[in-house]
Chains A and B, each alone.
Chain A
Amino acid sequence: MSLGFKRKLRTAALLLFVFAVVGLLIYSRIVAYSLAPTLKPADFSGLAWYEIPFYYLWDYVSHGWICLLFAFTAAGLVYEFMPKDLIMRYMGSNRITGYLIASGLAPLLTVCSCTMVPFFAGILYTGAGIGPAITFLLMAPAANVLTILLTGEFLSWDIAAVRVVASLTTALAAGVIVSKTSWGKSVENERHVDAVAGQRGTVELAKPPLDERLIAALKFGVYLATQILPYFIAGLIIVGYVTAYMPESIVEGYLTGWAGVLIASIIGGPLYTPTLVEVVVGRSLLQLGMSRAALLSWLMGQPYDIANMTAVSKITGWKVVVTYALTAWSCSVILSLLYGVLTGSL
């Protein structure tokens, strides 16, 4: 067999796999098969304590595997095929483009924290400055391929849409506010360098053949899965117990109404929940009676957790961190209350 033929065969096999994954998701939609788990908190009351994690995990895995498989495949493909050199070139061109890319395109790329800090610093140092950098930082955890898909499938698609819009508003507000403060400006002046990004032939990305790119994309998907799934599964086990033993009266008493939004935003913010676990916890709390408005503010608490803030404060100093955390927190409360009032789900 010639090398060219082998290559074509491998490309075909890989494309077939990708289409099969997409097809599975579409098929599951057509037959209205639930991709989210189906057990209710009441179903757990009859189980022994050691049985709970198994039932809970099985409930998630048996329904959610199509969704998880699709999410990790999609994340790998988006990351691999996104024209990174173009993003780099346009990032520095002007402020408006900077905000557009930081809020729209860049978050799609950042499916794990390993890619987030360099990207943040890159935007701050070489490109559009502190405002877009903060926008990106707050937008990334809410608007990447993985979170959008899982929020949509495991919670609901209207919550996913509202989450993206609300996060966008928050991220833009925080970015603009930080860029207007004197400490934000001084960080920008101090850190800015004149980069030659994409000019004078310093960046000429090699384009490998399609089959190698597909393999790289799927490998990255697998890598992401190995990074995220252990936390996801550990989270599920804990959530399984919470769902089984948490009295509904506590959740209904504290996580509804105006106070519910406030409480959810306070515990959802600083508390460090690894990627995607917030969706599972949110789902379980929602079943136990948390209001949808409180759920929104819980989900929006993602970007300003403690781990994230410490990493960023090393680059920008604590004043910038406090400014964006406070802005993001007030925005999440205000927007969630607004959502609650408008949809009658406070």
Chain B
Amino acid sequence: MKTLKIEVIGPDPPCARCMAVKRIAEEAAGRLESAGVKVEVVKANILSREILTKYGTLVSPAMAIDGVVRIMGRIPTEAEVEELARTAVEERSRD
């Protein structure tokens, strides 16, 4: 099974709120892994050409799961990230 990619999108160096989102994503990832889903959490630079071309995100912190921006400009709860990640896995298996 392919790894699920969670991108935390924010400025570099990361702002305090982006760090908080990254920590939450990592905690959620830990729980998902123990449930058998492989997750990779990366920090992406909101000002990089690549991220801008791909998502066009304007407000940080943002989070993209499997290439879709699901969170923008707020800090989600760990449960929410887990839920969103599970939905992404289910959608993928349906395709």
Contact = CB atoms under 8 A, between A and B. Distances in A.
B32 interface: no
Nearest to B71: A206
Interface residues of B, number: 31
B42 interface: no
A72 interface: no
A126 interface: yes
Interface in A179-231: 193-198, 201-206, 208, 212, 216, 219-220, 223
Contacts, number: 107
B88 to A, nearest CB: 11
Given A88-B56, A202-B55, A206-B84, A223 B73 contact: no
Chain A: interface size category: 35 or more
B16 interface: yes
Contacts of B70: 204-206
B52 A204 contact: no
A125 B47 CA distance: 9
Given A203-B69, A204-B69, A208-B80, A216 B74 contact: yes
A118 interface: yes
Interface of A: 79-80, 84-85, 87-88, 91-92, 109, 114-115, 117-119, 121-123, 125-127, 193-198, 201-206, 208, 212, 216, 219-220, 223, 315
17 contacts: A80-B73, A85-B72, A88-B56, A109-B59, A115-B73, A118-B10, A119-B58, A125-B49, A195-B56, A196-B53, A198-B56, A202-B56, A202-B68, A203-B57, A205-B70, A220-B75, A223-B17
